[in-house]
Amino acid sequence: MAGANEGIIAAMMALVNPGDEVLVSDPNWHHYKAIITLAGGIPIEVPTRAEDGFAMTAEQVGRLITKRTKMLCITSPGNPTGCVQSKESLEALAALAIKHDLFVMSDEIYARIYYGQGVVAPSIYSIPGMAERTIIINGFSKTYAMDGWRLGWTVASEDVTRAILKIRQYTTVCVNTFAQHGAAAGLNGDQACVDTMVKEFSRRRIIMLDGLRSIPGVTVPEPLGAFYVFPNILAYGKSSAELGDYLLNDHAIATVAGSVFGASGEGHLRMAYSCSAEECARVWSGSRPPSRPSASRKRHREESG
């Protein structure tokens, strides 16, 4: 695949028919809704909560399944939140997929950038009964820092893979040769460099978390994967776009407004710690939101739940 993104597009085009519903978490990487629509499907957003680490629950998903539901999309570790679906939550989601005969697209592009127990984040593919209905999406951009080389892959059943190949025959056809040689070198080489990278990301993650949590009114759940934090900035009475503009214009700090990632993302900012540790520290030590939460706003939040 010419990047993991092509894998998502090819799988959607191969499996989703006009009018099919596809469940996707909210907030999530905004390309998903556009790709589902491009394939003729209807994106159905599953609202997630910070108190759950922004992970989808079987209860939330189950309420939204209808006769038209074709697929469930899981991104774990997630963008923009860094959420990781636990093995237990994946087992519950797998039971729903089997019960309702759903495909599951498991976007695992950040699977190796994981801060929990084990080397990679848990995958729904490994749960009994799920291999034949799961499409794994992955690539080299994150694990091997090969952004721009555009090289990814899918893992699926033989029938699904054959359908995906039909889409590829009339799109990119094949991946460039030099990128494949680079990928082979990465896979077959010493993986210590990947371990070192993940440890450094984890160090920067702690710097960002400690700093953001020191700012009055800011709350942020601990991300267990990827390289993003998703702080809640509702206390400042400004939209995520407004606060993002302030940080960019006044402090040269680029963020992404949470609203870009879905309705549940409003009131948050996506920040990446793929920069240096020094730059991570500057995010909180050299800037503060334009106003601190007042007692009246705090009371309003408490009264409104």
Digit-coded pLDDT (tens) for 156-167? 999 999 999 999
132: CB partners within 8 A, 6+ apart: 157
Q: What is the pLDDT of residue 303?
A: 37
The answer to whether the beta carbons of residues 7 and 153 sit under 8 Å apart is yes
Q: At CA 300, angle to CA 294 and CA 304, rounded to 5?
A: 150
The answer to whether the beta carbons of residues 70 and 21 sit under 8 Å apart is yes
50 phi and psi angles, rounded to 5 deg: -60, -35
The answer to whether the beta carbons of residues 225 and 76 sit under 8 Å apart is yes
Whole-model pTM: value is 0.90
Cα(89)–Cα(167) distance, integer angstroms: 32
Q: What is the pLDDT of residue 293?
A: 53
User: Average per-residue pLDDT in the chain?
Assistant: 92
The tens digit of pLDDT for each residue in 109-154 reads 999 999 999 999 999 999 999 999 999 999 999 999 999 999 999 9
- For the record, the structure tokens of 224 come out as 């267990």
Residue 178's pLDDT band, with cuts at 50, 70 and 90, is very high
Which range is least confidently modeled, 38-42, 202-206, 215-219, 291-295?
291-295
Asked whether the predicted pLDDT for residue 302 surpasses 80, the reply is no
- For the record, the structure tokens of 187 come out as 């896979």
- One DSSP character per residue, 135-176 reads EEEEESTTTT--TTS--EEEE--HHHHHHHHHHHHTTT-S--
Which range is least confidently modeled, 173-177, 213-217, 265-269, 292-296?
292-296
Q: What is the pLDDT of residue 304?
A: 37
Q: What is the pLDDT of residue 283?
A: 75
- For the record, the structure tokens of 54 come out as 């922004």
Domains assigned to the chain: 4-188 (3.40.640.10), 192-303 (3.90.1150.10)
Residue 298's pLDDT band, with cuts at 50, 70 and 90, is very low
The tens digit of pLDDT for each residue in 256-285 reads 999 999 999 999 999 999 999 998 988 766
Q: What is the pLDDT of residue 287?
A: 57
Q: What is the pLDDT of residue 286?
A: 57
Q: In 3-state terms, what secondary structure has residue 25? A: strand
Q: Are strands 103-107 and 134-139 parallel, antiparallel or unpaired?
A: parallel
C-alpha gyration radius of the chain: 20
Question: Count of residues for the chain?
Answer: 305
Residue showing tokens 């080397």: 119
Q: What is the pLDDT of residue 296?
A: 37
The answer to whether the beta carbons of residues 17 and 40 sit under 8 Å apart is yes
Q: What is the pLDDT of residue 150?
A: 92
